[in-house]
Amino acid sequence: MACNVVVFTLFLFLNLLWQVPKTSAIVPAIIVFGDSTVDPGNNNQISTVLKSNFEPYGRDYFGGQPTGRFSNGRIATDFVSEAFGIKPTIPAYLDPMFDIKDFATGVSFASAGTGYDNATSDVLSVIPFWKELEYYKEYQTKLRGFLGTERANQHLSESLHVISIGTNDFLENYYIFPTRASEYSVDQYQDFLIGIAGNFIKELYKLGARKIAIGGLPPMGCLPLERTTNFFYGSRCIEEYNNVAKDFNKKLQSRVTELNKELNGIQLVLSNPYDKLLELIQNPSHFGFENAETACCGTGFFEMSYLCDKMNPFTCSDANKYIFWDSFHPTEKTNFIMADYVFKNVLAVFR
Ligand SMILES: *[C@@H]1O[C@H](CO)[C@@H](O)[C@H](O)[C@H]1NC(C)=O
C-alpha cells in the first residue's frame, strides 16, 4: 500500500519532469527584421546602390562566397541561430535559392540602409521597415500552407523575432539631410523612432509573435566612417553620436518595460549592444584585435559597399585583427563576440 503511494508519487514527479521541456518551449526559428547588421542579402534582389554581394565581402564565409552580408563572414543573427542549435546561417527572404522549407526554421526580412523612419529607407531606395512587416505577413501565409494553420501558429508563437535597426536613421538621415533635423530636435526624433518601434512590436504581437528581442543602438560615433569625419580632431569617436545612442537605448528600455506590462504573454527584451561593443573598441587587444579605429577593407577610413573593392591594395589580410570590416560594419569575429554575449546575457530567457 505504502509502496504503491511511493510509486504513484514517483510517477507523478517523473511526469512533471517530463513535461518541463514542453512548457518551456525551445525556439524553432529566428525571424529577423532590420538593417545591414542583419541583412543576409535581401538587397541583392532590389534596385539600390547599397550592396555587398561581391568580393572581398564574404571572403571568410563558407566557400569564400559573397552573399550580400555586410561582413567578411557571418553576421550576428547567423551566430544566434547557431547558438540556439537551429542552423548556421539565416537566409534572406527575397533570395530565390530558398523557399518556405528553409524559411520555416529562420528567415530575414532585413534590408541594408533602412531605418525606422520611412524617410531613411528612401535615401538609398531600400526596403522600408513597414514593408518588412508586409513580407512577414506573406511569410505567415506560406508557413500555414506548409505546416498547417495550427502548427504554424504554435511555431510562430515560439519563434524568436529579432529587430536590429536605427543607426541609419541618425547617420544616413538625420545628421546628413536637413529635412528631419528641421522638423525634430534630436530628443523629439528619438521619440518619433521609438513610437514606430513600439507600433511595430504591437503589430508583431497581433500577428501572433510572443518572443521578441529588439536591439538598441551601438556606440555609433565610433564607426570608422564617423571617426574619419572627425579627422582633424584625432579621429576620436564622435561623443555626440554616442550620447544620442545611449539616450535612445534608455528610452527604448522604458518602452520595452511598458510593453511587457501592456501586452499579455509577451516576452520582450532589449538587446543592447552599446556597452559590449564599446568595451571591444576601448580594449581591442583584450579580445585579440589590433585595430579598433579603421576598417579592414581598403584604407579603412571610408570604404563600404562598391567602394570596398577587391582590387583595393590596402585591404588587410587578416580581418580577425580588426573590429570593423568596412567603414560601417563589424568583422565576422566582432559579430561572433557580440552574438555570443547577447545569447548568453539577454536571449538566455528564451531557451
Ligand atoms: C510609412 O509609410 C507607410 C506606407 O506608406 C505608412 O503606412 C506609414 O504610416 C508610414 N509611417 C510613418 C511613421 O509615417
Break the chain into its structural domains and give their ranges.
Answer: 26-276
Convert the pLDDT of each residue in 32-81 to its tens digit. Answer: 999 999 999 999 999 999 999 999 999 999 999 999 999 999 999 999 99
pLDDT of residue 4: 56
Average pLDDT of 245-270? Answer: 98
Residue nearest atom 12 of ligand 1, based on CA coordinates: 118
Q: Which atom of ligand 1 is nearest to the CA of 199?
A: 13
Residue 118 in contact with ligand 1 by CB distance below 6 A: yes
Q: Which atom of ligand 1 is nearest to the CA of 192?
A: 13
Confidence of residue 20 (pLDDT cuts 50, 70, 90): very low
pLDDT of residue 1: 44
pLDDT of residue 43: 98
SS3 content of the chain, % helix, strand, coil (to 5): 50, 10, 40
Average pLDDT of 72-100? Answer: 98
Confidence of residue 231 (pLDDT cuts 50, 70, 90): confident
- pLDDT higher than threshold 50 for residue 128: yes
Average pLDDT of 341-349? Answer: 96
- pLDDT higher than threshold 80 for residue 179: yes
Look at residue 58 and give its three-state secondary structure: coil
CA distance linking residue 315 with residue 257, whole number of Å: 44
Residue 250's Cβ-side half-sphere holds a number of Cα atoms within 13 Å equal to 7
What residues contact 143, with CB distance under 8 A and at least 6 apart? Answer: 100, 103, 104, 152, 155, 156
**228-231: long-range contacts (C-beta < 8 A, 24 or more apart)?**
228/301, 228/302, 228/327
- pLDDT higher than threshold 90 for residue 232: no
For the record, the C-alpha cell of 218 comes out as 551601438
Any idea which of 58-67, 124-133, 141-150, 229-238 has the lowest mean pLDDT?
229-238
Pocket test for ligand 1, best of 114, 117, 118 (most atoms within 8 A of CB): 118
Q: Which atom of ligand 1 is nearest to the CA of 196?
A: 13
pLDDT of residue 220: 98
pLDDT of residue 286: 98
For the record, the C-alpha cell of 349 comes out as 530567457
CATH entry 3.40.50 includes domain 26-276: yes
> β-strands 324-326, 211-215: how paired?
unpaired
pLDDT of residue 8: 52
CA distance linking residue 65 with residue 219, whole number of Å: 29
The string of DSSP codes covering 270-283 is EE--HHHHHHHHHS
CA distance linking residue 252 with residue 186, whole number of Å: 15
pLDDT of residue 334: 98
> β-strands 329-330, 324-326: how paired?
antiparallel
CA distance linking residue 88 with residue 333, whole number of Å: 15
Share of the chain above pLDDT 90, in %: 91
Share of the chain above pLDDT 70, in %: 93
Q: Which residues are marked as active site?
A: 36, 326, 329
Residue 196 in contact with ligand 1 by CB distance below 6 A: yes
